[in-house]
Every structure is written in structure tokens, then in C-alpha cells.
Amino acid sequence: MTMTLFRVFALLLMSAGAMAQTACPQGVAAGSAQCGPSSIVNPMSSDAGPPAAPEIQWADSWGAIAIDDTKGEAGIVTDRPSKRKAKKAAMAECRRRGGENCSISRVYVNQCAAVVANDKMSSSVNAPSIDEAIAIGMQRCGETGLGCHVYWSGCSLAKRIW
């Protein structure tokens, strides 16, 4: 009987020690404030909570406007992955349309743009929205005293990639 009690006591003692295990950094005594619960105590525990949601990632979207003022031609591109590619594509489009003295008038990223013109001038502007871009362009063009019209408007907005 005493041997059986001794065995039960020994088993209880060993299992109580296993439940009280802690994870301490090397060189730190058990019971220190630097120690935390060991994952061995309850490996099935889900106290960590749900996994964090992945961070949303966005890719920039570039646009560019190239204009040949002497011929009145324009090359306009949107949704390009880089500033360099947007400028290059706008210049190529301007030349394709017959422009000979094309130059970059506007480069923008993750915004909208508009080209507003009259018989004497054109104005290219960018802004957070098409309405704002048109309003700014019309104001600038209107300073000439001549009637103005929107030649083009559009956006190159960031694209969600994750």
C-alpha cells in the first residue's frame, strides 16, 4: 500500500512539474519576469489569436501627356508601371499622331489629368479627381478670354496587387 501511494505521489509530482514549465532565455532563472509560458505546457492552445490579415499592397500607376504645340498634336497615356515608361509611351504616341516637336507637358502618378484647350493654347493639369483637373484646366485656359473645351480627361489610379 505504501509503495502504491509512493508511486501515485511520484506521478502527481512529475505531472505537476510538466504543467509548470516555463520558457526562459538562456541564463535566466525560472520564475523571472523575463520567462513566459512554454508551448510544451499546452501545445494545442490557440492563445495567439487569429493570424494577422495580410497588408494591402498597391502598385503605382503613371500617366503622361506629350504635346506638339505647333501642330496641335498630343500623345496621352495612362496606367503605365513607371514614370520612364509613361513618358516614353506619350512621346511615341504624340509622334505617331503626326507630332514633330513633341515635348512632355505633364507626368502624374495615382491621379487624374485633363487637357483643356482653345485656339491659342492648351493646358494640361493633374489633380486627385477628373472634376478637379478639369476645373483647374478650365480656369487656366479661361484666363485667355477665349472659349475653352476639354480635349481629354482620364486617370491613372493605383492598382491593388494584394
C-alpha span between 20 and 37 (Å, rounded):
8
Residues 6+ apart with CB under 8 A from 60: 81, 82, 109, 110, 158
Answer whether residue 33 is part of any domain: no
Q: In this predicted model, what pLDDT tens digit does every residue of 43-81 receive, in sequence order?
A: 555 556 778 888 899 999 999 999 998 888 999 999 999
Q: In this predicted model, what pLDDT tens digit does every residue of 86-100 receive, in sequence order?
A: 999 999 999 999 999
Answer whether residue 154 is part of any domain: yes
pLDDT at 17 over 50: no
Give the pLDDT mean for 12-40: 62
pLDDT of amino acid 42? 55
pLDDT of amino acid 126? 97
- Under the banding of pLDDT at 50, 70 and 90, the label for residue 9 is low
CB 23 within 8 A of CB 39: yes
Mean pLDDT of the chain: 84
Which residues constitute the domain of residue 78? Answer: 58-160
Residue 146 is given by DSSP the state S
Answer whether residue 156 is part of any domain: yes
Domain count within the chain: 1
Answer whether residue 49 is part of any domain: no
C-alpha span between 136 and 122 (Å, rounded):
12
Answer whether residue 21 is part of any domain: no
Answer whether residue 68 is part of any domain: yes
pLDDT of amino acid 19? 47
Angle at 59 between CA 136 and CA 80, to 5 degrees: 65
Cell of residue 40, nine digits: 510544451
- Give backbone dihedrals phi and psi of 101, rounded to 5 degrees, phi first: -115, 50
Answer whether residue 72 is part of any domain: yes
Could you tell me what percent of the chain has a pLDDT over 90? 56
Give the pLDDT mean for 142-154: 92
Answer whether residue 95 is part of any domain: yes
DSSP strand E in the chain: where? 22-23, 36-37, 58-59, 62-68, 73-80, 103-109, 111-117, 122-127, 149-156, 159-160
